[in-house]
Every structure is written in C-alpha cells, then in structure tokens.
Amino acid sequence: MLKKYASYVIGLLMLLLLVTACSTDETTNDPSQENDNNETKTADAAEELKLPETDLQKMDEGTAVQALQEVLNEIGYSITSNGNFDDTTTWAVTDFQLQQEDLLALGVYNAETKEALEELLSTGDTVEAEAGLPLDAEEASTSHEDTHVLANPYDQLALVNKQYALPSDYTPDDLVVPDVPFPFDEDLPQKQLRAVAADALEELFQAADEAGLDLVAQSGYRSYDRQDTIFASNVEAHGEEAANNFSAQPGESEHQTGLTMDVTTPHINNELTIEFGETAEGKWVEEHAAEYGFIIRYPEGKEEITEYQFEPWHIRYVGEKTAQEITAQAITLEEYYGVE
C-alpha cells in the first residue's frame, strides 16, 4: 500500500514538472509575446524620457534643457547632459532637423521638433549622428587670419562678423519671398529670406502699415559670390580700409544667412542711409522690431564692437526671446555672446 502511494506521488510530481516546462516553452517561443514585451519596453522608455513643453534655444539652461539632451542621446547622439544649451546641443538639434522632411533647420527646439522627437521615441528608432550636419567645420578661407568658419550656418542665432564667417558654399534651403512691398518689380534673390524670418517680417510690416507708416524691403539674402562682387566694387570705389567699415567681405555678411533684411521708406527715396533712423519709419522699427524677433544689428555707439558703421536700416532676425533681451539691454549680438 505504501509503495503504491509513493508511486502515485512521484507520478503526480512528474506531471506537474511537465506542465510547467510546456508552459515555459510556449511563453518563450511565442513571437507575438516577444513583440508585446518589446513594444511595452519602448513605450516605457518613451514615457520615462519626458520632452520639454517649452521652446528652447542656445544659451538656455536648466532641467528642461537636460531632459532634451537625454532624449537626443536616446535617439543616437552622444552629448553631455549638463543642462546647458551649448553649441553641441544646438548642432544635435540642427542635425536632427536636417534629417526630417518637414522641419526647418534652425537649431532651436520648438513644437514641431518636439513632435518629431516624440514620434521617433514611440517607435524606438534612432538617427545617424552627423548625417545631416558634420560636427566640425572646415578651415577658414577668408582674408582675415583670425576668422573662423561656422560649423553650423543654419543656426538661427549664428554670430556672423569679421571673426566668424559662413562657409562659402552655404545657401539656405528654405528661402522664400515675403509678402511685403519692394521698391522694384524684378524677381531677384535679394527679395528672399529664410521662411521663419520672412513670416516675422510680414508681421512687422503689417503692424507698421496699421500704424500708418510706409516701409519697404530693399535687400535680403545675398550669396557668397554676390557679396564678393559687392565688396570688390566698394574697395575699387572707396579703398579697402573705408570699404571695411560699411561692407562685409564674402562669408562675413549677415545677408548670406537669409535672416537679414535692409528696410527703408519712400520718404528718403528708398535709400539705405543713416537718415532712415530719423524718419518716423526708422524710429518705429527701432522701437518695435524686437516684438517680431528682429534687432538693429549695427546700432549707434557700438561701432568699435560690431566693426561696422551705424546702420539703422539693417535688421536681423534672432527670434522674439533673444531680440527682446538684446534690445532691453541695449547691447549687440557680440555682447550677448560675450565675445566683444
């Protein structure tokens, strides 16, 4: 009787072991179960990496910037998560934007970039770092020995002057013609601006019109080769020393960024002269340009810093946040970066 009972117990244990083994095999070998697990892990990772809700740009600091940096590392970059929106972070954002069909490459983290990053996180896909923009720039090719070629010419906040030049082959790929008045009808490249600056210029001109003012846009985008021709002509007419005070050498002109427009008014025959600053239009632009993301790039009294004469007609798009900070402090873009 005892032997029969022992055999019964042993048989029951073996049956339980067999059932457990089968159950384990079924779970391990079920492809749908593996896919479900992977999807769950991807969703968990996306949930843990929370993208900032606010726009961010170069020189911003804090936990929101660090959160963005962590997401960028998750999708294929290798940058320091230090909470500082530095040049490397700006490059990574720009490189990512250049690899997306529907994003403007500005180096600025905005709602559109957030949406694209969220989609990538949800799928678990990655990008190839530097596929859109190399991290390092080529050697400088300008006549100034101490001039550096910018590694990221797409940067909305790029500092372009006699020390920091644009690559000779850089042409913005999002140039459009803003819907504003021009003093000529020809379809010339100088009517163009990058899309983000063109939209802002339209808003600025609309506000000026509502204020009863008469603004016209005179000169926007200018290629490297066109600037070369203009500078050579100015040197021939005025000499190189004088030309350097009011005309940029090729690569050193903000017009090549596609973020600058020279504006004037019919009240001074649409000329680009210091007299513009004394007109009602010039005074209005000085007071209100920052509301639309523009700064007077070469202000009066800052000639030693900018190395150019006062140009009340030359407005540069940097975005509303930066424009208002610069204008409120009455500083230049050089002083904003602390490189004057």
Q: Are residues 54 and 40 in the same domain?
A: no
Q: Does any domain span residue 142?
A: no
Q: Are residues 116 and 162 in the same domain?
A: no
Q: Are residues 59 and 196 in the same domain?
A: no
Residue 311 bears catalytic tag:
yes
Q: Does any domain span residue 329?
A: yes
Last residue of a domain, one of 123, 157, 174: 123
Number of domains the chain contains: 3
Q: Are residues 237 and 180 in the same domain?
A: yes
> Residue 56 has what pLDDT?
97
Q: Does any domain span residue 278?
A: yes
Q: Are residues 166 and 31 in the same domain?
A: no
pLDDT tens, residue by residue, 212-260: 999 999 999 999 999 989 988 889 888 888 888 888 888 999 999 999 9
Measure Cα distances from 172 to 55, 91, 165, 178, 193 in Å: 22, 16, 15, 15, 9
Buried b / exposed e along 5-33 (16+ C-beta atoms within 10 A): eeeeeeeeeeeeeeeeeeeeeeeeeeeee
Q: Does any domain span residue 248?
A: yes
> Residue 23 has what pLDDT?
47
Nearest to 314 by CA among 284, 278, 334, 286: 286
Q: Find the CATH number of the domain harbouring 173.
A: 3.30.1380.10
> Residue 9 has what pLDDT?
44
Set 254, 281, 286, 311: catalytic member: 311
Q: Are residues 5 and 83 in the same domain?
A: no
Domain of residue 8, residue span: 1-48
Q: Are residues 197 and 328 in the same domain?
A: yes
Q: Does any domain span residue 330?
A: yes
Q: Are residues 300 and 210 in the same domain?
A: yes
Q: Are residues 39 and 53 in the same domain?
A: no
Kindly list the averaged pLDDT for each block of 10 residues, start to end, along the chain of length 340.
47 48 47 49 59 96 98 97 97 98 97 97 95 80 73 96 94 97 96 98 98 98 93 88 84 96 98 98 98 98 96 98 97 92
Buried b / exposed e along 200-215 (16+ C-beta atoms within 10 A): bbeebbeebeeeebeb
Q: Does any domain span residue 133?
A: no
Gap between the Cα atoms of 130 and 95, Å rounded = 6
Q: Find the CATH number of the domain harbouring 68.
A: 1.10.101.10
> Residue 141 has what pLDDT?
54
Q: Are residues 31 and 54 in the same domain?
A: no
Helices (H), 171-298: 195-210, 224-238, 240-246, 280-288
pLDDT tens, residue by residue, 39-75: 444 445 445 789 999 999 999 999 999 999 999 999 9
Q: Are residues 161 and 229 in the same domain?
A: yes
Q: Helices 31-48 and 111-123, interaxial angle, to 10°?
A: 150
Helices (H), the chain: 2-29, 31-48, 63-74, 87-98, 111-123, 195-210, 224-238, 240-246, 280-288, 303-306, 320-329, 333-337
Q: Does any domain span residue 140?
A: no
- The gap between the terminal CA atoms of the chain, to the nearest Å, is 101
Q: Are residues 119 and 108 in the same domain?
A: yes
Q: Does any domain span residue 244?
A: yes
